[in-house]
Amino acid sequence: MKTYSMDLRQRVIDACDSKVETRAQTAKRFKVSISWIQKLLLLRRANGSIAAKPHGGGRQAKFQGEALLKLQKLIEERSDATLQELLDQMGTDASIMAVARALERLGYRHKKSRYGLRSKIAPMSNCCVKHGAKK
């Protein structure tokens, strides 16, 4: 979920400071929740700033640095390997999904037939033919 822009944050704060309308009316006008306005006002009171907080973090990727380069080398050697085979050859404690995410970061995409024809979506019959009509 994306954070609200600084422009919107400032306009909401200005509307709340003017006290022309209630917070519920302000929330409805700017299409935000009342609780978000309250959190924004608390943030300003605590920090003096209404800027969004930085991302809290998350898990570190299992394949980064040398492990990512090793994975790329394996793919170049055997481009037809499955995710499970790549995971087994890497010998790391990771999941298949971690391998898939690493491949995505490297720019590879999952495609069963690398050099096959692209599938097309085309009408199966003439567009002027009515369904069930006899010829």
pLDDT digits (tens, 9 = 90+) for 44-93: 999 999 999 888 888 888 898 999 999 999 988 888 888 899 999 998 88
Q: What is the pLDDT of residues 20-43, one digit of tens each?
A: 999 999 999 999 999 999 999 999
Closest of 31, 45, 35, 37 to residue 10, by C-alpha: 37
Alpha carbon distance 119, 83 (integer Å): 24
Residues 6+ apart with CB under 8 A from 37: 12, 16, 23, 26, 27
Alpha carbon distance 129, 95 (integer Å): 51
From the CB of residue 43, how many other CB atoms can be counted at a distance below 10 Å? 16
Tell me the whole-structure pTM to 2 decimals: 0.48
- Residue 51 amino acid letter: A
